[in-house]
Amino acid sequence: MAPTRRDFLKMAGLTAAVLVLPPRLAGGADKVVTPSAAPLPLAGPGRRWAMAVEPRKCRPDCRACIDACHGVHNVPDFGNPKDDVHWIGRAPMGKVFPAETHAGLPETLRGLPVPVLCNHCINPPCVRVCPTKATFQRADGIVVMDYHRCIGCRFCMAACPYGARSMNWRDPRPFVAKLNVDFPTRTQGVVEKCNFCEERLAKGLPPACVVACPEKALTFGDLEDPRSAVRELLGRHFSLRRRPELGTEPQIYYIL
């Protein structure tokens, strides 16, 4: 018996409904698709290097971290602020956290020297603007430079909101106080910055500044590891990051 007009319309409607409905509701596909949390951009296999800084522990005129870093990495000292090249430095708290500074803040806190270095952002603007991919982000989050590729355009310096980058306006080698033979210098016309001691990490050593600090004010570790010293410290204290409103996701955490 040929189907009635009514039966034909029923079948046609059901078929259309099955085709239109998402597979899960229709029961067609047994693969359950859960909306997984978006992975950290470029986060590597279980590594996300970060640093917690406790400026209150710093001695007033201590330069141990700066001297250690600049000594290991052959950072030149040109002796004038115009040519200044630095990987790590110190700045008063009022300058590092201008949004957190107000008239009621005592001068002792406002002038507190705070170690400042490259923030190794999760979303680094310097990497985005680099036209030669000289600055790039590794899988473990470290933002590093391939000095072979740097053409000295200084887009990255304009992009970095933290002033973490320096230009070699002159040949830096004569201005390196004592050359460390195990690390190259830079050349005239390239930008340089902190590399989170990636060359030491490759050997299993913590960053030079962390080792040099006499007060253990710098704590380095893997944010992906819940038992790391950084996670433990950040879990116990309230911490600030520099200019988080920019969305760069800095990985240097300040406990003030």
Partner 1 sequence: MKLYNRGIILAGIALFLIVATFPFWYGRGKAVPPPDLKLDTAAIAALKEKLCVEPAEFMRTDHMRLLANWREGLREGQRTYTAADGRVFEIGLTGTCLKCHDNKEQFCDRCHDYTGVKPNCWSCHIVPKEVR
Q: Where does this chain bind partner 1 (CB under 8 A)?
A: 136, 138-139, 146-148, 171, 173, 179, 181-188, 202
Residue among 165 and 231 whose Cβ is closer to partner 1: 165
Smallest distance from the beta carbon of 148 to partner 1, in angstroms?
A: 6
| Least distance between partner 1 and beta carbon 81 (Å) | 24
Q: Based on CB atoms, which residue is closest to partner 1, 112 or 194?
A: 194
CB of 69 to partner 1, least distance (A): 18
Between 7 and 146, CB nearer to partner 1: 146
CA distances in angstroms from 107 to 95, 114, 122, 217, listed in the order given? 12, 14, 33, 21
3-state SS, residue 209: helix
Specify the residue, 67 or 198, whose C-beta has the smaller distance to partner 1: 198
CB–CB of 70/172 below 8 Å? Answer: no
Q: Which residues of 149-173 are buried (b: 16+ CB within 10 A; e: fewer)?
A: ebeeebbbbebbebebbbbbeeebe
Query: What is the smallest separation between the CB atom of 135 and partner 1, expressed in angstroms?
Result: 11
Distance CA 232, CA 221 (A): 10
Which of residues 63 and 138 has its CB atom nearest to partner 1 in the complex?
Answer: 138
Which residues pair with residue 4 across a beta bridge? none
Task: Give, as one character, the DSSP assignment of residue 247.
Answer: S
Q: Which of 157, 147, 233 is nearest to 190 (CA)?
A: 147
Rounded least distance, CB 141 to partner 1, Å: 13
